[in-house]
Protein backbone atom coordinates (compact mmCIF):
# COMPACT_ATOMS: atom_id res chain seq x y z
CA UNK A 1 0.00 0.00 0.00
CA UNK A 2 1.33 3.44 -0.95
CA UNK A 3 2.66 5.40 2.04
CA UNK A 4 2.84 2.24 4.13
CA UNK A 5 4.67 -0.86 2.90
CA UNK A 6 5.32 0.39 -0.65
CA UNK A 7 7.96 3.10 -0.18
CA UNK A 8 10.27 4.83 -2.66
CA UNK A 9 13.27 3.09 -1.09
CA UNK A 10 11.69 -0.35 -1.55
CA UNK A 11 10.74 0.44 -5.15
CA UNK A 12 14.22 1.65 -5.98
CA UNK A 13 15.85 -1.47 -4.52
CA UNK A 14 13.56 -3.77 -6.49
CA UNK A 15 14.33 -1.78 -9.65
CA UNK A 16 18.06 -2.08 -8.90
CA UNK A 17 17.63 -5.82 -8.47
CA UNK A 18 15.77 -6.10 -11.78
CA UNK A 19 18.42 -4.03 -13.58
CA UNK A 20 21.05 -6.37 -12.14
CA UNK A 21 18.97 -9.39 -13.17
CA UNK A 22 18.62 -8.21 -16.79
CA UNK A 23 22.33 -7.41 -17.09
CA UNK A 24 22.28 -3.66 -17.61
CA UNK A 25 20.22 -3.82 -20.79
CA UNK A 26 17.25 -1.86 -22.12
CA UNK A 27 14.15 -1.83 -19.91
CA UNK A 28 10.71 -0.62 -21.02
CA UNK A 29 8.64 1.11 -18.31
CA UNK A 30 4.94 1.95 -18.44
CA UNK A 31 2.30 2.72 -15.83
CA UNK A 32 -1.44 2.82 -15.26
CA UNK A 33 -3.20 6.11 -14.26
CA UNK A 34 -3.16 5.67 -10.48
CA UNK A 35 -2.33 8.89 -8.65
CA UNK A 36 0.74 7.23 -7.14
CA UNK A 37 2.02 6.16 -10.56
CA UNK A 38 4.32 9.12 -11.20
CA UNK A 39 6.05 8.76 -7.82
CA UNK A 40 6.48 5.04 -8.32
CA UNK A 41 7.81 5.53 -11.83
CA UNK A 42 10.53 7.97 -10.75
CA UNK A 43 11.64 5.66 -7.94
CA UNK A 44 11.81 2.76 -10.40
CA UNK A 45 13.70 4.76 -13.01
CA UNK A 46 16.26 5.80 -10.38
CA UNK A 47 16.91 2.17 -9.47
CA UNK A 48 17.10 0.98 -13.07
CA UNK A 49 19.49 3.76 -14.09
CA UNK A 50 21.76 3.16 -11.09
CA UNK A 51 22.28 -0.43 -12.25
CA UNK A 52 23.52 0.73 -15.66
CA UNK A 53 20.38 -0.01 -17.64
CA UNK A 54 18.82 2.15 -20.35
CA UNK A 55 15.18 3.18 -19.82
CA UNK A 56 12.49 3.49 -22.45
CA UNK A 57 9.58 5.30 -20.79
CA UNK A 58 6.40 4.69 -22.79
CA UNK A 59 4.23 6.61 -20.33
CA UNK A 60 0.69 5.74 -19.34
CA UNK A 61 -0.50 2.58 -21.06
CA UNK A 62 -1.99 -0.90 -20.52
CA UNK A 63 0.19 -3.71 -19.18
CA UNK A 64 -0.15 -5.68 -22.45
CA UNK A 65 1.23 -2.63 -24.27
CA UNK A 66 4.38 -2.82 -22.14
CA UNK A 67 4.69 -6.53 -22.96
CA UNK A 68 4.27 -5.86 -26.68
CA UNK A 69 6.82 -3.04 -26.62
CA UNK A 70 9.41 -5.25 -24.91
CA UNK A 71 9.17 -7.67 -27.83
CA UNK A 72 8.92 -5.09 -30.59
CA UNK A 73 11.91 -3.15 -29.29
CA UNK A 74 13.96 -6.28 -28.49
CA UNK A 75 14.40 -4.96 -24.96
CA UNK A 76 15.98 -6.97 -22.15
CA UNK A 77 12.92 -6.59 -19.94
CA UNK A 78 10.05 -4.41 -18.83
CA UNK A 79 8.41 -3.07 -15.69
CA UNK A 80 4.68 -2.39 -15.65
CA UNK A 81 3.61 -0.16 -12.76
CA UNK A 82 0.11 -1.19 -11.73
CA UNK A 83 -1.94 -2.81 -8.99
CA UNK A 84 -4.34 -4.21 -11.61
CA UNK A 85 -7.87 -4.62 -10.16
CA UNK A 86 -6.87 -3.70 -6.58
CA UNK A 87 -8.13 -0.50 -4.86
CA UNK A 88 -6.76 2.98 -5.56
CA UNK A 89 -4.47 3.10 -2.53
CA UNK A 90 -2.43 0.17 -3.87
CA UNK A 91 0.32 0.01 -6.46
CA UNK A 92 2.84 -2.61 -7.51
CA UNK A 93 5.45 -3.68 -10.07
CA UNK A 94 5.04 -6.40 -12.69
CA UNK A 95 8.36 -7.64 -14.05
CA UNK A 96 8.57 -8.74 -17.67
CA UNK A 97 11.28 -10.81 -19.32
CA UNK A 98 12.82 -10.30 -22.80
CA UNK A 99 10.16 -12.47 -24.49
CA UNK A 100 7.46 -10.10 -23.23
CA UNK A 101 6.27 -12.67 -20.67
CA UNK A 102 6.08 -12.21 -16.91
CA UNK A 103 8.92 -13.78 -14.98
CA UNK A 104 8.37 -17.47 -14.29
CA UNK A 105 8.87 -19.00 -10.84
CA UNK A 106 12.59 -19.64 -11.35
CA UNK A 107 13.28 -16.14 -12.69
CA UNK A 108 11.24 -14.59 -9.87
CA UNK A 109 13.31 -16.49 -7.30
CA UNK A 110 16.52 -15.23 -8.92
CA UNK A 111 15.21 -11.66 -8.75
CA UNK A 112 14.23 -12.06 -5.09
CA UNK A 113 17.64 -13.53 -4.28
CA UNK A 114 19.34 -10.49 -5.79
CA UNK A 115 16.98 -8.19 -3.90
CA UNK A 116 17.51 -9.88 -0.52
CA UNK A 117 21.27 -10.15 -0.94
CA UNK A 118 21.47 -6.49 -1.94
CA UNK A 119 24.34 -7.16 -4.31
CA UNK A 120 23.22 -4.84 -7.08
CA UNK A 121 25.20 -3.77 -10.10
CA UNK A 122 26.24 -0.16 -9.51
CA UNK A 123 27.68 2.19 -12.11
CA UNK A 124 29.46 5.53 -11.78
CA UNK A 125 27.89 8.82 -12.75
CA UNK A 126 29.60 8.87 -16.12
CA UNK A 127 28.13 5.44 -16.96
CA UNK A 128 24.51 6.28 -16.17
CA UNK A 129 22.48 5.96 -19.34
CA UNK A 130 19.58 7.97 -20.73
CA UNK A 131 15.85 7.89 -20.25
CA UNK A 132 14.16 7.84 -23.64
CA UNK A 133 10.58 9.09 -23.43
CA UNK A 134 8.79 7.47 -26.35
CA UNK A 135 5.35 8.31 -27.72
CA UNK A 136 3.17 6.06 -29.82
CA UNK A 137 3.28 2.80 -27.88
CA UNK A 138 -0.51 2.48 -27.81
CA UNK A 139 -0.71 3.37 -31.51
CA UNK A 140 1.74 0.53 -32.21
CA UNK A 141 -0.53 -1.75 -30.17
CA UNK A 142 -3.54 -0.80 -32.30
CA UNK A 143 -1.51 -1.31 -35.48
CA UNK A 144 -0.47 -4.80 -34.39
CA UNK A 145 -4.13 -5.75 -33.88
CA UNK A 146 -5.26 -4.27 -37.20
CA UNK A 147 -2.36 -5.88 -39.07
CA UNK A 148 -3.42 -9.29 -37.73
CA UNK A 149 -7.22 -8.98 -37.95
CA UNK A 150 -8.06 -5.96 -40.09
CA UNK A 151 -11.11 -3.73 -39.61
CA UNK A 152 -14.51 -5.30 -39.08
CA UNK A 153 -16.15 -6.70 -42.21
CA UNK A 154 -18.89 -4.57 -43.71
CA UNK A 155 -22.31 -5.37 -42.28
CA UNK A 156 -25.78 -3.92 -42.75
CA UNK A 157 -25.27 -1.74 -39.71
CA UNK A 158 -22.25 -0.55 -37.79
CA UNK A 159 -21.72 -2.40 -34.51
CA UNK A 160 -22.48 -0.15 -31.54
CA UNK A 161 -20.19 -0.70 -28.54
CA UNK A 162 -20.24 0.72 -25.02
CA UNK A 163 -16.80 0.74 -23.38
CA UNK A 164 -16.19 1.13 -19.63
CA UNK A 165 -12.46 1.50 -18.95
CA UNK A 166 -12.84 2.36 -15.23
CA UNK A 167 -10.76 5.51 -15.91
CA UNK A 168 -7.80 3.15 -16.26
CA UNK A 169 -5.11 2.57 -18.85
CA UNK A 170 -7.67 1.28 -21.34
CA UNK A 171 -9.12 4.81 -21.50
CA UNK A 172 -6.13 5.91 -23.56
CA UNK A 173 -6.34 3.27 -26.26
CA UNK A 174 -9.70 1.43 -26.05
CA UNK A 175 -11.88 4.05 -27.80
CA UNK A 176 -9.23 4.58 -30.49
CA UNK A 177 -9.02 0.85 -31.20
CA UNK A 178 -12.80 0.48 -31.48
CA UNK A 179 -12.98 3.42 -33.88
CA UNK A 180 -10.10 1.99 -35.92
CA UNK A 181 -12.04 -1.27 -36.17
CA UNK A 182 -14.95 0.79 -37.56
CA UNK A 183 -17.31 0.33 -34.61
CA UNK A 184 -19.57 3.04 -33.20
CA UNK A 185 -18.22 3.83 -29.72
CA UNK A 186 -20.04 5.08 -26.64
CA UNK A 187 -17.40 5.51 -23.94
CA UNK A 188 -17.98 5.81 -20.20
CA UNK A 189 -15.36 6.12 -17.46
CA UNK A 190 -12.53 6.94 -19.87
CA UNK A 191 -10.79 9.79 -18.03
CA UNK A 192 -7.36 8.39 -17.03
CA UNK A 193 -6.96 10.48 -13.88
CA UNK A 194 -6.53 7.79 -11.24
CA UNK A 195 -10.08 8.05 -9.91
CA UNK A 196 -12.11 4.87 -9.52
CA UNK A 197 -15.76 5.32 -10.64
CA UNK A 198 -16.40 1.67 -9.70
CA UNK A 199 -14.37 -1.14 -8.13
CA UNK A 200 -11.77 -1.99 -10.78
CA UNK A 201 -12.37 -5.74 -11.02
CA UNK A 202 -14.70 -6.27 -14.02
CA UNK A 203 -17.08 -8.69 -12.32
CA UNK A 204 -20.86 -8.59 -12.69
CA UNK A 205 -21.62 -6.71 -9.47
CA UNK A 206 -19.38 -3.81 -10.59
CA UNK A 207 -20.88 -3.33 -14.05
CA UNK A 208 -24.20 -1.63 -13.30
CA UNK A 209 -23.38 1.58 -15.19
CA UNK A 210 -22.21 -0.39 -18.22
CA UNK A 211 -25.37 -2.51 -18.25
CA UNK A 212 -27.53 0.61 -18.05
CA UNK A 213 -25.59 2.29 -20.87
CA UNK A 214 -25.93 -0.75 -23.15
CA UNK A 215 -29.70 -0.75 -22.66
CA UNK A 216 -30.02 3.04 -22.97
CA UNK A 217 -28.09 3.24 -26.25
CA UNK A 218 -29.35 -0.01 -27.77
CA UNK A 219 -25.77 -1.22 -28.10
CA UNK A 220 -24.75 -4.55 -29.57
CA UNK A 221 -22.25 -5.23 -26.78
CA UNK A 222 -20.63 -3.72 -23.71
CA UNK A 223 -16.97 -4.11 -22.75
CA UNK A 224 -15.46 -3.54 -19.30
CA UNK A 225 -11.73 -3.38 -18.54
CA UNK A 226 -9.82 -3.39 -15.29
CA UNK A 227 -7.30 -0.68 -14.38
CA UNK A 228 -4.35 -2.12 -16.32
CA UNK A 229 -6.52 -3.34 -19.23
CA UNK A 230 -5.42 -6.96 -19.33
CA UNK A 231 -8.85 -8.36 -18.37
CA UNK A 232 -12.10 -7.99 -20.30
CA UNK A 233 -15.70 -8.58 -19.26
CA UNK A 234 -18.67 -8.52 -21.62
CA UNK A 235 -22.28 -7.33 -21.31
CA UNK A 236 -24.78 -8.67 -23.85
CA UNK A 237 -27.04 -6.58 -26.06
CA UNK A 238 -29.73 -7.13 -23.41
CA UNK A 239 -27.59 -5.36 -20.82
CA UNK A 240 -26.72 -8.56 -18.94
CA UNK A 241 -23.19 -9.52 -17.82
CA UNK A 242 -22.32 -12.85 -19.43
CA UNK A 243 -19.58 -13.84 -16.96
CA UNK A 244 -15.85 -13.34 -17.39
CA UNK A 245 -15.26 -16.95 -18.45
CA UNK A 246 -17.22 -16.43 -21.64
CA UNK A 247 -14.90 -13.67 -22.85
CA UNK A 248 -12.32 -16.37 -23.55
CA UNK A 249 -14.93 -18.78 -24.93
CA UNK A 250 -16.16 -16.24 -27.51
CA UNK A 251 -12.62 -15.24 -28.48
CA UNK A 252 -11.59 -18.89 -28.83
CA UNK A 253 -14.61 -19.61 -31.01
CA UNK A 254 -13.49 -16.94 -33.49
CA UNK A 255 -9.85 -18.06 -33.48
CA UNK A 256 -10.63 -21.77 -33.92
CA UNK A 257 -12.95 -21.05 -36.84
CA UNK A 258 -9.92 -19.57 -38.61
CA UNK A 259 -7.15 -21.78 -37.30
CA UNK A 260 -7.18 -25.21 -35.69
CA UNK A 261 -4.76 -25.95 -32.88
CA UNK A 262 -4.35 -26.57 -29.15
CA UNK A 263 -6.06 -24.38 -26.56
CA UNK A 264 -4.60 -23.74 -23.09
CA UNK A 265 -6.45 -22.42 -20.04
CA UNK A 266 -6.10 -22.63 -16.29
CA UNK A 267 -7.86 -25.19 -14.09
CA UNK A 268 -10.69 -22.86 -13.04
CA UNK A 269 -11.83 -21.89 -16.56
CA UNK A 270 -15.27 -23.03 -17.70
CA UNK A 271 -15.83 -26.39 -19.39
CA UNK A 272 -17.60 -24.50 -22.18
CA UNK A 273 -14.12 -23.89 -23.57
CA UNK A 274 -13.62 -27.66 -23.90
CA UNK A 275 -16.96 -27.94 -25.70
CA UNK A 276 -15.98 -25.26 -28.21
CA UNK A 277 -12.57 -26.82 -28.83
CA UNK A 278 -14.15 -30.24 -29.28
CA UNK A 279 -16.34 -28.87 -32.09
CA UNK A 280 -13.16 -28.20 -34.06
CA UNK A 281 -11.28 -31.33 -32.98
CA UNK A 282 -8.80 -29.30 -30.92
CA UNK A 283 -7.28 -30.39 -27.59
CA UNK A 284 -7.49 -28.32 -24.40
CA UNK A 285 -4.62 -28.35 -21.93
CA UNK A 286 -5.08 -27.11 -18.35
CA UNK A 287 -2.46 -25.31 -16.27
CA UNK A 288 -2.04 -23.90 -12.79
CA UNK A 289 -3.68 -20.55 -12.05
CA UNK A 290 -1.73 -17.49 -13.20
CA UNK A 291 -0.87 -15.91 -16.53
CA UNK A 292 2.74 -17.06 -16.46
CA UNK A 293 1.61 -20.69 -16.10
CA UNK A 294 -0.83 -20.36 -18.99
CA UNK A 295 1.76 -18.78 -21.29
CA UNK A 296 4.27 -21.48 -20.37
CA UNK A 297 1.65 -24.09 -21.29
CA UNK A 298 0.83 -22.29 -24.52
CA UNK A 299 4.47 -22.30 -25.58
CA UNK A 300 4.86 -25.94 -24.61
CA UNK A 301 1.82 -27.03 -26.65
CA UNK A 302 2.10 -24.44 -29.47
CA UNK A 303 -1.39 -23.19 -28.63
CA UNK A 304 -3.29 -20.98 -31.07
CA UNK A 305 -5.29 -19.33 -28.28
CA UNK A 306 -5.50 -19.47 -24.52
CA UNK A 307 -6.18 -17.54 -21.38
CA UNK A 308 -7.92 -17.52 -18.04
CA UNK A 309 -11.54 -17.50 -16.95
CA UNK A 310 -11.15 -14.06 -15.37
CA UNK A 311 -11.54 -12.31 -18.72
CA UNK A 312 -7.95 -12.87 -19.81
CA UNK A 313 -7.57 -13.60 -23.55
CA UNK A 314 -4.16 -14.57 -24.95
CA UNK A 315 -3.77 -14.65 -28.74
CA UNK A 316 -0.07 -15.18 -29.48
CA UNK A 317 -0.30 -14.04 -33.10
CA UNK A 318 -0.71 -10.52 -31.71
CA UNK A 319 0.43 -10.44 -28.09
CA UNK A 320 1.67 -13.20 -25.81
CA UNK A 321 -0.15 -12.02 -22.70
CA UNK A 322 -3.67 -11.32 -21.41
CA UNK A 323 -4.87 -8.45 -23.54
CA UNK A 324 -8.32 -6.85 -23.31
CA UNK A 325 -7.75 -4.96 -26.57
CA UNK A 326 -7.10 -8.16 -28.47
CA UNK A 327 -10.12 -9.71 -26.75
CA UNK A 328 -12.37 -6.86 -27.91
CA UNK A 329 -11.15 -7.15 -31.50
CA UNK A 330 -11.65 -10.93 -31.64
CA UNK A 331 -15.17 -10.81 -30.19
CA UNK A 332 -16.27 -7.95 -32.45
CA UNK A 333 -15.00 -9.83 -35.49
CA UNK A 334 -17.01 -12.84 -34.32
CA UNK A 335 -20.18 -10.72 -34.04
CA UNK A 336 -19.66 -9.07 -37.41
CA UNK A 337 -18.82 -12.26 -39.32
CA UNK A 338 -21.49 -14.45 -37.71
CA UNK A 339 -24.25 -11.87 -37.89
CA UNK A 340 -25.40 -13.13 -34.49
CA UNK A 341 -25.92 -11.23 -31.25
CA UNK A 342 -24.02 -12.06 -28.07
CA UNK A 343 -27.13 -13.75 -26.67
CA UNK A 344 -27.62 -15.84 -29.82
CA UNK A 345 -23.99 -17.00 -29.67
CA UNK A 346 -24.32 -17.92 -26.00
CA UNK A 347 -27.38 -20.03 -26.79
CA UNK A 348 -25.18 -22.27 -28.95
CA UNK A 349 -23.02 -23.17 -25.93
CA UNK A 350 -23.92 -25.76 -23.28
CA UNK A 351 -25.25 -24.02 -20.18
CA UNK A 352 -22.86 -23.92 -17.23
CA UNK A 353 -22.89 -21.99 -13.96
CA UNK A 354 -19.77 -21.13 -11.98
CA UNK A 355 -19.90 -20.25 -8.28
CA UNK A 356 -16.90 -18.89 -6.37
CA UNK A 357 -16.38 -18.70 -2.61
CA UNK A 358 -13.49 -18.10 -0.23
CA UNK A 359 -12.84 -18.68 3.45
CA UNK A 360 -10.13 -17.68 5.88
CA UNK A 361 -7.54 -20.36 6.60
CA UNK A 362 -3.97 -20.04 7.83
CA UNK A 363 -1.38 -21.03 5.25
CA UNK A 364 -0.05 -23.71 7.62
CA UNK A 365 -3.39 -25.57 7.58
CA UNK A 366 -4.02 -25.46 3.82
CA UNK A 367 -1.90 -28.55 2.97
CA UNK A 368 -3.93 -30.57 5.49
CA UNK A 369 -7.19 -29.37 3.96
CA UNK A 370 -6.04 -30.48 0.51
CA UNK A 371 -4.99 -33.90 1.82
CA UNK A 372 -8.40 -34.32 3.45
CA UNK A 373 -10.18 -33.51 0.18
CA UNK A 374 -8.04 -35.96 -1.79
CA UNK A 375 -9.06 -38.69 0.66
CA UNK A 376 -12.75 -37.72 0.80
CA UNK A 377 -13.12 -37.61 -2.99
CA UNK A 378 -10.66 -40.33 -3.93
CA UNK A 379 -13.29 -42.21 -5.95
CA UNK A 380 -13.48 -39.38 -8.51
CA UNK A 381 -10.92 -38.16 -11.08
CA UNK A 382 -8.65 -35.63 -9.33
CA UNK A 383 -6.09 -33.09 -10.59
CA UNK A 384 -3.60 -31.97 -7.93
CA UNK A 385 -1.40 -29.72 -10.07
CA UNK A 386 -2.77 -26.61 -8.34
CA UNK A 387 -4.70 -27.41 -5.18
CA UNK A 388 -7.32 -30.12 -5.64
CA UNK A 389 -9.70 -30.23 -8.61
CA UNK A 390 -12.35 -32.96 -8.45
CA UNK A 391 -14.53 -34.05 -11.38
CA UNK A 392 -17.90 -35.23 -10.02
CA UNK A 393 -20.98 -36.51 -11.90
CA UNK A 394 -22.62 -33.09 -11.42
CA UNK A 395 -19.64 -30.95 -12.44
CA UNK A 396 -16.30 -30.05 -10.91
CA UNK A 397 -14.84 -28.08 -8.04
CA UNK A 398 -11.39 -26.65 -7.36
CA UNK A 399 -9.98 -25.86 -3.92
CA UNK A 400 -6.67 -24.05 -3.61
CA UNK A 401 -4.84 -21.75 -1.26
CA UNK A 402 -4.37 -18.13 -2.28
CA UNK A 403 -0.88 -17.05 -3.29
CA UNK A 404 -1.30 -13.68 -1.59
CA UNK A 405 -3.75 -14.06 1.32
CA UNK A 406 -4.40 -16.56 4.16
CA UNK A 407 -7.55 -17.84 2.48
CA UNK A 408 -8.84 -20.87 0.61
CA UNK A 409 -10.64 -20.32 -2.68
CA UNK A 410 -13.42 -22.69 -3.76
CA UNK A 411 -14.69 -22.67 -7.34
CA UNK A 412 -17.35 -25.02 -8.68
CA UNK A 413 -19.08 -25.42 -12.03
CA UNK A 414 -22.18 -27.43 -12.94
CA UNK A 415 -25.00 -27.45 -15.50
CA UNK A 416 -27.17 -25.40 -13.14
CA UNK A 417 -26.50 -22.73 -10.56
CA UNK A 418 -28.27 -24.84 -7.95
CA UNK A 419 -25.88 -27.77 -8.47
CA UNK A 420 -22.83 -25.50 -8.54
CA UNK A 421 -23.88 -23.86 -5.28
CA UNK A 422 -24.44 -27.27 -3.68
CA UNK A 423 -20.93 -28.37 -4.69
CA UNK A 424 -19.46 -25.24 -3.13
CA UNK A 425 -21.64 -25.56 -0.03
CA UNK A 426 -20.70 -29.20 0.54
CA UNK A 427 -16.98 -28.50 0.19
CA UNK A 428 -17.17 -25.36 2.32
CA UNK A 429 -18.88 -27.32 5.08
CA UNK A 430 -16.29 -30.11 4.96
CA UNK A 431 -13.38 -27.68 5.06
CA UNK A 432 -14.98 -25.73 7.93
CA UNK A 433 -15.39 -28.91 9.99
CA UNK A 434 -11.82 -29.99 9.30
CA UNK A 435 -10.34 -26.59 10.20
CA UNK A 436 -12.38 -26.45 13.43
CA UNK A 437 -11.38 -29.99 14.51
Q: Are 152 and 333 in contact (CB under 8 A)?
A: yes
Query: How far apart are the C-alpha atoms of 25 and 72, rounded to whole Å?
Result: 15
DSSP 126: G
Tell me if residue 343 is catalytic: no
Measured in whole angstroms, how far is the alpha carbon of residue 137 from the centre of its chain? 19
What is the C-alpha separation between 197 and 225, in angstroms, rounded? 12
**By the 8 A CB rule, do 182 and 189 touch?**
no
Helix (H, G, I), strand (E, B) or coil at 11: helix
Give the C-alpha separation, 394 to 315, whole Å.
32
Per-position DSSP letters for 293-327, written without gaps between them? HHHHHHHHHT-SEEEETTTEEEBTTTBSS--HHHH
Residues 6+ apart with CB under 8 A from 424: 355, 356, 357, 397, 410, 411, 412
∠ at Cα 294 (210, 221), nearest 5°?
20
Residues 65 and 137: their CA atoms lie apart, in Å, by 7
Q: Are strands 305-308 and 312-314 parallel, antiparallel or unpaired?
A: antiparallel
Q: Which helix (H) or strand (E) holds 148?
A: helix 137-149
Catalytic position from the list 84, 171, 271, 324? 84
**Which residues are identified as catalytic?**
84
Amino acid sequence: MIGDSLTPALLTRFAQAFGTHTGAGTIVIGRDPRTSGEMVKHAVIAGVLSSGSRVIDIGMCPVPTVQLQVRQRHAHGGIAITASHNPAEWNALKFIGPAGLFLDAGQARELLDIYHQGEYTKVSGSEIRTVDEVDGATDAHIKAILDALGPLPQTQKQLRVVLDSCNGAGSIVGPKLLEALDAEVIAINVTPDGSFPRPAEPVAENLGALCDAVRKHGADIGFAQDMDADRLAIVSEKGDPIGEDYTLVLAALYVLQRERGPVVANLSTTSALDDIAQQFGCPVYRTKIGEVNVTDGMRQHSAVVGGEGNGGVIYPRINFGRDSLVGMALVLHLLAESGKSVSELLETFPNYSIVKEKMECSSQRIPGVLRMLRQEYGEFPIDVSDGVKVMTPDGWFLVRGSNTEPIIRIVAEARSEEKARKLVSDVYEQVTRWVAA
